[in-house]
C-alpha cells in the first residue's frame, strides 16, 4: 500500500509539540489519536493498514509510558498548550 506524505514533514506548517523521540509516522498516528480518530481512520488518512497503525500505537504506548489512547491525547494536548504559552499564545 502506498504511503501518503506525513503531516510532520512540513505540511502542517507548525512545530509538533510531541516528544522528539517519536518517528514521523508515530507523530502522525499520535496526531490522529489527539483528533479522536480510530485506527482505521488514521490508516486510511495515511495510506497504511490498520495493523500498521496498531503497531505504531504499541510503540507510542511504550515510548510515551502510557497505557491508553486517552493518555496519548492528554499528553498531546498538554504539550500543545505548553508550546503555545512558550510562543506567547496563551
pTM for this model (two decimals): 0.73
How many structural domains are present in the chain? 1
Structural domain range at position 26: 22-86
Structure confidence at residue 23 (pLDDT)? 95
CATH number of the CATH domain containing 52: 1.10.10.10
Domain annotation covers residue 34: yes
Cα torsion 14, 17, 19, 21 to 10°: value is -10
Q: Please state, in angstroms and rounded to a whole number, the distance separating the CA atoms of residues 26 and 30.
A: 6
Domain annotation covers residue 32: yes
Nearest residue to 70 (alpha-carbon basis) of 25, 26, 34, 22: 34
Structure confidence at residue 85 (pLDDT)? 82
Domain annotation covers residue 72: yes
Asked if 7 contacts 28 with a C-beta cutoff of 8 angstroms, the reply is yes
pLDDT in tens, the chain (90 residues): 444 544 443 334 344 568 889 999 999 999 999 999 999 999 999 999 999 999 999 999 999 999 999 999 898 888 777 777 888 876
Amino acid at each position: 500500500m502506498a504511503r501518503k506524505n506525513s503531516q510532520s514533514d512540513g505540511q502542517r506548517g507548525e512545530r509538533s509539540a510531541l516528544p522528539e523521540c517519536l518517528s514521523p509516522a508515530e507523530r502522525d498516528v499520535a496526531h490522529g489519536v489527539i483528533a479522536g480518530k480510530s485506527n482505521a481512520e488514521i490508516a486510511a488518512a495515511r495510506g497504511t493498514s490498520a495493523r500498521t497503525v496498531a503497531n505504531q500505537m504499541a510503540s507510542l504506548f511504550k515510548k510515551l509510558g502510557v497505557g491508553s489512547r486517552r493518555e496519548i491525547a492528554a499528553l498531546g494536548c498538554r504539550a500543545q498548550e505548553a508550546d503555545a504559552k512558550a510562543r506567547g499564545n496563551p
